[in-house]
Amino acid sequence: MPFDISLLPENVRPTVQRLQKTITFSDNITKGANGYVLIGHNNLLDRPQVMKIYYWGGGAHIEPTLLAKLEFPNILKVDSAEPIDEDDAYFITRFCGGGDLDDQLAEKAFGPREGIDILLQIASGVSYLHGQGYLHRDLKPSNVFCTDGGVWVVGDFGSVVTMNEEGFASTQSKHSIIYRPPEDFEEAARFYRQGDIYQLGLLLYQTLGGRLDYEQDSWLSHAQMKQRETLGGIEGHVYAQSCIGSVIRKGKVLKLDTLPATVPKHLRQLIRQACRVDYKRRPEAASDFITKLNNLRRKTFDWKVVDGLYQLDVKGRSFRLTPVDGDLQVEKRVAGGWKKQHGLRFSDPLLAVGEVEDLAS
């Protein structure tokens, strides 16, 4: 059934009506959308496409037509883009059949090397953007997509801005609060290149299994929730946002103890480095982040989640960890299936993982 464009703001309807000559729009995505996201089928090209309508503020963000010139394997291809008026613009991209990273994280867990490989692709896309003189500013799981061919690409360019020669952009426009870097809360309203590095660190953290709550209440104390209710309306919302901003400025977003035991210490350290409160102490460029990840990949065991259990396959040998009454039992694959390894049952997941890695070395 065609999408009812009367649900859109009046100023954007003529543009959508014009595009309907070639695109049949059928749905509207609201998850994580900072604007309007329409799903449709291009009847001339015979392929699905996605249209995003967003605020660009007559230059607050990158000139829409420049988006169509971005060409890189890890950047979601923009087929067309243009301003609608002095406030709004749109861009149209390919539809990614693999969904976004947020969808995949809800359905499966990635092993450490799998997570590294995903982030290497995402960081390569970010490095390309920086090389073109742009900052993304809104890197999060719902803005990273998996193509039909299994390639991870950076998408949703509604917050992209041009950075100056000093590597930052002065902008008042904001984006998803929990992903905003600490320096973005300062009065100077500067977003640095290292702000994207901070968000890459959060992406690595989440991809490896770290918990990052999306619900506002998760970041507020009981007293703060009561104060928000007392204030009510917009004033209450602004108060809650300021409370979350305080958490971010103090560097209290990460909860590294929520990462699986299979995530090694060296990856946890890189996450900390990328998410440091002081942007000057983070990796300076996306290329530095990529180099660090590549170096760490070589010494990271290739744990995978198979049938809901962590499994390690090394040189023809396979081990897995099976929960037993709150403990983890080490099992080894033998000709007849899986066999418990006597004396290798652990209450501490880190000890269990370490033992398997020693056996596999």
CB distance 88 to 56 below 8 Å:
yes
- Assign 182 to helix, strand or coil: helix
Q: Which tens digits make up the pLDDT trace of 202-232? A: 999 999 999 999 998 999 999 999 999 999 9
Range(s) for CATH 1.10.510.10 in the chain?
Answer: 101-212+253-297
CB 310 within 8 A of CB 287: no
Residue 51: is its pLDDT beyond 60? yes
Tens of pLDDT, residue by residue over 289-340, are 999 999 999 999 999 999 999 999 998 999 999 999 999 999 999 988 999 9
CATH 3.30.200.20 region(s) of the chain?
5-94
Tens of pLDDT, residues 252-283 = 999 999 999 999 999 999 999 999 999 999 99
At 292, give phi and psi (nearest 5°). Answer: -60, -45
Distance of alpha carbon 341 from the chain centroid: 38
Please give the full DSSP string across 224-268, using - where no structure is assigned.
Answer: HHHHHHHH-HHHHHHHHHHHHHHHHHTT----GGGS-TTS-HHHH
Q: Which amino acid is at 24?
A: T
Residues 165, 249: Cα–Cα separation, whole Å? 26
| Distance separating alpha carbons of residues 118 and 152, to the nearest angstrom | 7
Q: What is the arithmetic mean of pLDDT over 230-240? A: 92
Provide the CATH topology of domain 5-94: Phosphorylase Kinase; domain 1 (3.30.200)
pTM for the predicted model, two decimal places: 0.92
Confidence class for position 30, pLDDT limits 50, 70, 90: low
Q: What is the CATH number of domain 101-212+253-297?
A: 1.10.510.10
Element spanning 272, H or E: helix 265-274
According to the model, what pLDDT value does residue 120 have? Answer: 98
Residue type for 261, please? A
pLDDT bracket for residue 341 (50, 70, 90): very high
Give the gyration radius of the chain's Cα atoms.
23
End-to-end CA distance of the chain: 57
**Residue range 242-259: average pLDDT?**
95
Reduced to 3 states, what is the DSSP secondary structure of residue 47? strand
- Checking if the pLDDT of 187 tops 70, the result is no
* Averaged pLDDT score across all residues of the chain: 91
